[in-house]
Amino acid sequence: MRIVMLGDIVGACGRQSVQQLIPEIHEKFKPDVLLANVENVANGSGLTPDQYRRLFDAGVDGMTMGDHALRKREIYKILQEKSNIIRPGNLPAGAPGKGSMAIEPRNTSLPPVYVIIVLGNMFMGLNANDPVASVDTLLAQIPRKDATIIVEMHAETTSEKQAMGWHLNGRVSAVLGSHTHVPTADAGILPSTKIGARRTAFQADLGMCGGHESVIGRRIEPVLSHLRTGVYMAFDVADKDPRINGVCLDVDQTTGSATAIERFVLHANPQKPPFMV
């Protein structure tokens, strides 16, 4: 089974890039499931119900959200009720939504893909619970031992994400990092833990979908100005050099073992729809 997962979609530019390039993704990779992190769609922070619907209609099968999950109150109902969108599983117990989901592939003869997201603790500034204990609890709730399982580790440091990769090695199909918006060049399959154990794919960060002439998706000038003066200003979302970053992951659906992972970058054309031309 083939799964494509995209890094954090940032602002209108990111959403339009994804909408434009989904046909190319299907032509190139022919994924059975398309996943994306959508925490930054609403002008950089959060997601609105309208944006959720547009991305779903465009072909995003499963959506994840990190530290920006609860920025927009209007998305809480969707987080509670829809089966294809999750927020970090280690938020406080009363947080709206859920931390894991099962996505049915397009080819209905394939088993579901389970997706879990947890937040790291280092430099995140959120009241999150222990990601290791939380991910173990969520994994224990998955009914099948051989299930295809993607764990997204939404964290600031590559070290914490690597550590999660080793913690879950042999137990899940892939550990994929997000949040820093810059893709890392370490896509690979971790060494086998023991004979017969499933193989786990890993990449410390997926990168982002959005304007790459930017500071992690925001316009350069306000960020530099803040850096130089300390004065607070709006960090608008960038729109130049639109690209999408993601990985194409192959999993043996009979064992849940990863067989290949490839990082990719696709360039969007801002002169063509759905961009304003």
- Is 212 labeled as catalytic in the residue annotation? no
| Alpha-carbon gap, residue 213 to 40, rounded angstroms | 17
Locate 247 and state its tokens: 């990985």
Catalytic site residue from 26, 68, 154, 212: 68
Residue 83 buriedness (CB in 10 A; 0-12 / 13-18 / 19+): exposed
Nearer to Fe ion, 40 or 162 (CB): 40
Of 216, 200, 181, residue with least CA distance to 255 = 200
Only one residue has tokens 């859920």, namely 98
Identity of the residue, 71 or 263, whose beta carbon is nearer to Fe ion in the bound complex: 71
**Quick one: 11 or 105, whose CB is closer to Fe ion?**
11
Amino acid sitting at position 253? Q
Local structure of 273: helix, strand or coil: coil
Give 47's strand partners: none
Interface residues with Fe ion (CB under 5 A) are 8, 40, 66-67, 179
Report the candidate in 208, 200, 188 with the shortest Cα–Cα distance to residue 262. 188
Q: Which position's Cβ is nearest Fe ion? A: 8
Tell me whether residue 171 or residue 219 sits nearer to Fe ion (CB atom). 219
Distance CA 8, CA 206 (A): 8
Q: What residues are labeled active site?
A: 68
